[in-house]
Structure 1
Amino acid sequence: MGLITGLCTFLYHLPQIYKWLLKPYYITSFLMTVAFLVVRKAPGLCEHLATQREDRNPCDFDWRELEILMFLSAIVMMKNRRAITLEQHIGNLFLFSKVANVILFFRLDVRLGVLYLALCVAFVMTCKPPLYMGPEYIKYFSDKTIDEELQRDSRVTWIVEFYANWSSDCQSFAPVFAELSLKYNCAGLRFGKVDIGRYGEVSKQYRVSTSPLAKQLPSVILFQGGKELMRRPMVDNKGRAVSWTFNEENIIREFNLNELFQKSKKLNKSRGLKEEEQLSPQPEEATTSGLALKEK
């Protein structure tokens, strides 16, 4: 039953996976993930590799390699329990597969290990995961515009994501935040983002650390009249983020988005009525203008 469910999930996401395969980042990640498998099984190459198997067959995995691969599978399954999107699932698989490949190649041959490690470093330095480019109702702030926008109208509530492009967690959360903006954005409830990896002063001003050890990325903060009302994740006394899962359900529940949206719709209606009153002529003005016409 589990195999059937997994197969159905794969077929459902097949169009999205196909699009990924067209991107250099995912093509390269896939090739690096299966590198050891290819080397160990490739005819004409595997015959020259070292092995610890009793039958001395160099083209099959030995018992230690199987242990490492089984441990890799367990780690990926544990990490994916907290994954939100399919991108995170695939990202965890790629990341820990590369770590396992480094260990396997060093164990097989130091020269192969050094070569594979050098390829991993070059990959990290030159190939970045593709950014989310889907539909959204989000305003992007800079260090010069964020304060002005947040304080422009005290009746407007802002939900702002503090992120960095190099953070894989921020990249995984990007489609979730975009989907929330499509559902809840209105005149009284706005969504914004600021890249604190680029604007370091904003990071200091709003006390969001960009250190990977702090695990504060991404941070989502609720503002009213330029003042912070709440944030997730919360930060403890040591400056480390309290563990929190960034999914759509948690954001809606913690930030009371449904209630905020209903209040914002009332604000929109009241604004519309005020604008109509300002545009429509007052009774006294209408009477005066009517008398003036009669006198003429």
Structure 2
Amino acid sequence: MGLITGLCTFLYHLPQIYKWLLKPYYIVSFFLTVAFLLVRKAPGLCEHLATQREDGNSCDFDWRELEILMFLSAIVMMKNRRAITLEQHIGNLFLFSKVANVILFFRLDIRLGILYFALCIAFVMTCKPPLYMGPEYIKYFSDKTIDEELQRDSRITWIVEFYANWSSDCQSFAPVFADLSLKYNCAGLRFGKVDIGRYGELSQRYGVSTSPLTKQLPSVLLFQAGRETMRRPMVDNKGRAVSWTFNEENMIREFNLNELFQKSKKLSKRVGVKGEEQNPELDESDNEFCSDENPEQPTENKKDK
């Protein structure tokens, strides 16, 4: 049953996977992932490779290589239990496959191991994973605009993600946060993002560490009446982030998004009746976001530079 479910999931996401393979990052990652398999099975090359098989067949895996590949499969399955997006599943597969390939190549021939390791280093330094560029209702803040925007209207609730482009966890969470903004963005409930990897002074101002050891990236903060009322992940007394899974279900439950959205719809109706005299900052486009059905085409995707 698990195999059938996995196959159905793969077929469902096949068009999306096909688009990924057209991007240089995923093309190179794929070939680095299957590099040892290609070398071990390549006609004309595999005959000259070392092997520990009793039959001397150097074009097939020996028992130690099979053991390493089985261990790789177990590690990927364990890591993917906490993966929240298909991109994160594929990323875990690519990452641990490269580690396994390094071990396999060094075990096969130290020269091949050095060559493969050098290719991996060059890949990491020159090729970055593509950023999420899908539809969203998100306001992008800079260090000069975030305080002003949060304090502009005390009736607006802001959900702000503090992220860094170099963080793989932030990249995995990006489509989830974008999807939530499409579903819940309203005149009284807005979504924002700020790149603290770019604006480092904001990390101290809002208490979000950019160190990979603290596991505080991404951090999602809830602002009501211009003040922070909660954040995830929470931070203990030693400044370490409490483990928390950034998926859609947890976001909706912990931040009470359904309740906040219902309150925001009431605010939008009041603004729609009283007009701009009550609150000129909430324009007509904001009021339209609070209908019972979300619009298909997002109209807000601003980035402050």
CA distance in 2, matches of 1:93, 1:87: 10
CA distance in 1, matches of 2:146, 2:82: 32
Aligned partners of 1:53 and 1:62 also within 8 Å: yes
Which structure 2 residues correspond to residues 207-222 of structure 1 after superposition, within 5 A? 207-222=207-222
In structure 2, the partner of 1:60 is 60
Which structure 2 residues correspond to residues 22-41 of structure 1 after superposition, within 5 A? 22-41=22-41
CA distance in 1, matches of 2:102, 2:210: 28
Which has the higher mean CA deviation after the structures are superposed, 148-157 or 1-10?
1-10
Q: Quick one: which amino acid aligns to residue 265 of structure 1?
A: K
In structure 2, the partner of 1:252 is 252
1:222-274 Cα distance to aligned partner (Å, 9 max, x none): 00122110000111222221111111110000000011111111111222233
Alpha-carbon offset, residue 275 of structure 1: 2.6
Alpha-carbon offset, residue 277 of structure 1: 8.6
The higher relative CO (CA closer than 8 Å, separation ≥ 6) is in 2
CA distance in 2, matches of 1:277, 1:181: 27
1:13-58 Cα distance to aligned partner (Å, 9 max, x none): 1100110110000000000000000011111111111111111211
Q: How many residues align?
A: 278
Which has the higher mean CA deviation after the structures are superposed, 55-64 or 142-151?
55-64
CA distance in 1, matches of 2:26, 2:201: 33
CA distance in 2, matches of 1:105, 1:59: 14
In structure 2, the partner of 1:93 is 93
Report % sequence identity. 90
Distance 1:277 1:62, change over 3 A: closer
1:176-208 Cα distance to aligned partner (Å, 9 max, x none): 100100111111000000001111001111111
| Gap runs ≥5 in structure 2 | 279-305
Partner SS for 1:213: helix
CA distance in 1, matches of 2:48, 2:242: 50
Which has the higher mean CA deviation after the structures are superposed, 144-153 or 232-241?
232-241
Q: Quick one: which amino acid aligns to residue 194 of structure 1?
A: V
Q: Quick one: which amino acid aligns to residue 241 of structure 1?
A: A
In structure 2, the partner of 1:193 is 193
Which structure 2 residues correspond to residues 37-186 of structure 1 after superposition, within 5 A? 37-186=37-186
Alpha-carbon offset, residue 5 of structure 1: 2.0
CA distance in 1, matches of 2:17, 2:187: 36
1:92-111 Cα distance to aligned partner (Å, 9 max, x none): 00000000001111111111
Greater Rg over alpha carbons, structure: 1
Distance 1:42 1:257, change over 3 A: same
Distance 1:276 1:193, change over 3 A: closer
TM-score under structure 1 length normalisation: 0.91
Q: Quick one: which amino acid aligns to residue 114 of structure 2?
A: V
CA distance in 2, matches of 1:50, 1:138: 55
Partner SS for 2:7: helix
Larger helix fraction of residues: 1
CA distance in 2, matches of 1:110, 1:200: 42
Q: Quick one: which amino acid aligns to residue 99 of structure 1?
A: V
Which has the higher mean CA deviation after the structures are superposed, 52-61 or 247-256?
52-61
In structure 1, the partner of 2:228 is 228
